[in-house]
Structures are given as C-alpha cells and as structure tokens.
C-alpha cells in the first residue's frame, strides 16, 4: 500500500480508459478559481506526498487470506468491456484469460459497442445463458444496465466491477469492486506541480465529464488540492469528453494565450494528451516552458516523459497487475470468501524526471510491471491460490 495523503472519497474512483469509450453530454466549458495571489511556501505534507508517491512497490501484500481453489476446475468466465479494439481493455481481458487458464476455466471476452446500455445488457445476458461461473465488467458503471445487473444477481453469478469505483451496491457475497484511486492519482500530479513551482502553480485542468463519477477526478484531485494546500496557486478547468474532444486544442490554446503565467496542465487521461499538446503548440508554448501531467501510464506517455517531450509527470497504474487483482476478487467470490472492505489498489506510482531514468521504456517493460518496483504479484497470487 502506498503512503501519502488520501484525498479520495468513497465511490469516486473511476476508470481512466472509460473516458475513451463512454460518451458524455454537454459542451466544452471552462471554470476558474484561485486560492490566492501571494506566492506561498510548499507545505511539508505536499512535499512528503510527492516523495512517497514516487517510491517503488517492493513487497507484495496479499489482499486477503489464502484461498482453497481446488474445486474450481472448469466452466466459463465472462469479461465484459466497452470495446475489445481498445488496447487497454484487450490487455485486461487477455491477462484474466491467462489467470483462469490455470484453473481450466474458459474466458469469453465480450464487447459492448462503446459501453452502450443495450450492448452491456446483451453481454450480461449471454453470460447468464451460458451459465457463467463468474463475470468481470471493466469500465462499465452499475447504472448502465440495471435490469441486466439485477438478472445477474438473481442468477447467483459472482460479479466483479472493474475500473469504475472501489466500492458500491450489491450483495457482498456476490458483488465486488476493484479500481485504482483516480482522485489520488490526480492529486499526485497537482502536488508535483505545487512542488515544482515552489508554491505558485497556475494549473489548467481537463475535467472529464463522461459520467457522473469522473468530474471528481479534477474537482477533488486538482481544484480542491490547490485551494486547500497552495495559497499562491490557481486553477482553471475545461470540461472535456469524447463528444467534444476535437475542441480541446482550441480551448487549451485560448486559455494559455489569455494567461501567460499558466505553465502547468493536468491533461486527465492519456487519450487527451495529444489534444492538449496541440493546443499548447498553437499558443506558441514549448515543452521547456509548459509542463503536462497525465494519469494512466501508457507506454507512449512514459516514453515522452523519458525524453522530456511535453509530459513532465505521469500518475500511473499497472493494467496487468490490476487484472490479477480483478481475478483474485472473482476467485474469492467463487469460493465464498469475499474480500472484506474496499481494496486500496497498490500498483500505482508517480513518475517524473526524478525517477524515470533507468526504467525499461519498452513494451516488455510495460508488460512486466517492472516500473512499479520489485513486488512480484504473479508469484504472490499463485501462492495465495495454492497454484505454486
């Protein structure tokens, strides 16, 4: 478990890649707020949070007691995602397949046409008809297809909600939640910019409005942090989603031209980085005078960080590791030993120029999870499940 301040609220962690596929409504909108004009010193708690967030995870901590999985010897698990063609979702599905192959369990991946209610309901019904022994949804909120979710519960099929919230409704014997803490990840970027600016950061933040959960990422992880912890800082927010993504460059450019002191941008999720950079370039900014922070840790943005190409901070989490935690949560439901309480997903880390040097910034390095430290979650889980 990572140390540092935890600014997240219950039910407000959500999937980074959700912004890629779940379409939100509304126009691009900007809001601004300031926490004061005077340049302030950096609070010790902020500096400590940044230092802690940069540290590697070198010890695997089991998310629960050992399991007797000897009776799991076949059947089918469904992994339901918004879109199979999105790399992040296919990575999760393939990792879960690799886990359950050790139990002789087949895994069926089902795409939902961008996470549409009809698509989600169709996949859930397929799982019910196939008498699935378990279901993992990825980036799909509980209220997307409530009738189908209720049908899954009635059928008694264990369901793990992945990459939406860390806790939520449902019978704890049948329903579980696993997700990174996206408010915390955004707060790490904000803290990094406070430290880098010596307490005078003027931050432009992308606020994702894809659903009712995602706005809290910027509201609580950026705006509130600056207001509470940095008297000399200010923020401006641009509401973004996949409907108006093409407007991001113009909004970013306009904001940067209007305020020459705005040197820091929280791009939100990785998919918005190209649009943000395009807007910064249109405002005649360069990577030497404007820093971009993002959440997710894709290989492309990590390589940009390694080369000092616009991306200056990445609040990352490991998708392969998350897939194993999703699998563990489902196995616990299947054997009647659900995990107690919300999971604080540990494989999250803040990367900056201070700790990116020496990382294997290749596809192999990304897949291995070596960026996050020496903790061997694969070996840890296999021992926990009696498979090693």
Tokens for 223, please give them.
Answer: 């705006």
CA–CA separation, 115 and 121 (whole Å):
10
pLDDT one-digit tens code per residue, 319-377: 999 999 999 999 999 999 998 788 889 999 999 999 999 999 999 999 888 999 999 99
CA–CA separation, 266 and 15 (whole Å):
17
pLDDT band per the 50, 70, 90 thresholds, residue 146: very high
Tokens for 4, please give them.
Answer: 């540092």
Q: 302: burial class by Cβ within 10 Å (0-12, 13-18, 19+)? A: buried
pLDDT one-digit tens code per residue, 206-243: 998 877 788 999 999 999 999 999 999 999 999 998 77
pLDDT one-digit tens code per residue, 281-319: 999 999 999 999 999 989 999 999 999 999 999 999 999
CA–CA separation, 236 and 322 (whole Å):
32
The reported pLDDT for the residue numbered 374 is 95
Do the Cβ atoms of 355 and 54 come closer than 8 Å? yes
Q: What residue ranges define each of the domains in the chain, with the CATH number in brackets? A: 18-57+182-317 (3.40.50.2300), 76-180+319-348 (3.40.50.2300)
CA 88 from centroid of its chain's CA atoms? 11
CA–CA separation, 156 and 277 (whole Å):
48
CA–CA separation, 261 and 26 (whole Å):
29
Tokens for 275, please give them.
Answer: 């649009």
What pTM does this model have?
0.85
Dihedral (Cα; 366, 367, 368, 369), 10-degree rounding = 60
């Amino acid at each position: 478990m990572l140390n540092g301040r935890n600014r997240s609220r219950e039910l407000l962690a959500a999937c980074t890649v959700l912004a890629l596929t779940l379409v939100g409504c509304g126009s691009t909108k900007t809001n601004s707020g300031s926490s004061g004009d005077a340049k302030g010193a950096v609070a010790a708690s902020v500096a400590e949070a940044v230092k802690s967030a940069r540290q590697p995870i070198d010890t695997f901590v089991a998310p629960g007691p050992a399991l007797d999985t000897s009776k799991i010897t076949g059947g089918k698990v469904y992994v339901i995602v918004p879109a199979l063609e999105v790399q992040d979702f296919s990575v999760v599905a393939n990792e879960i397949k690799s886990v359950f192959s050790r139990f002789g369990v087949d895994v069926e991946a089902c795409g939902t046409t961008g996470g549409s209610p009809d698509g989600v309901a169709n996949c859930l019904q397929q799982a019910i008809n196939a008498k699935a022994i378990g279901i993992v949804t990825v980036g799909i909120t509980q209220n997307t297809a409530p009738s189908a979710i209720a049908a899954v519960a009635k059928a008694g099929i264990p369901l793990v909600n992945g990459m939406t919230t860390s806790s939520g409704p449902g019978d704890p014997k049948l329903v579980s939640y696993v997700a990174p803490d996206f408010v915390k990840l955004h707060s790490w970027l904000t803290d990094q910019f406070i430290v880098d600016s010596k307490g005078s950061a003027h931050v432009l933040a992308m606020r994702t409005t894809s659903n009712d959960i995602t706005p809290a990422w910027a509201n609580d992880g950026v705006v509130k942090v600056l207001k509470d912890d940095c008297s000399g800082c200010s923020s401006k927010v641009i509401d973004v989603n996949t409907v108006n993504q093409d407007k991001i460059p113009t909004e970013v450019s306009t904001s940067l031209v209007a305020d020459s002191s705005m040197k820091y941008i929280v791009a939100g999720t990785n998919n918005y980085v190209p649009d943000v950079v395009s807007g910064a370039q249109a405002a005649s900014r360069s990577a030497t005078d404007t820093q971009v922070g993002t959440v997710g840790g894709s290989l492309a943005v990590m390589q940009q960080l390694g080369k000092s190409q616009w991306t200056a901070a990445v609040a990352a989490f490991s998708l392969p590791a998350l897939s194993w935690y999703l699998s563990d949560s489902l196995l616990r439901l299947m054997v009647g030993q659900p995990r107690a309480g919300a999971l604080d997903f540990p494989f999250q880390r803040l990367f900056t120029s201070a700790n990116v040097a020496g990382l294997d910034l290749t596809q192999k390095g990304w897949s291995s999870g070596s960026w996050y430290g020496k903790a061997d979650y694969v070996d840890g889980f296999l021992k926990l499940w009696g498979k090693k």
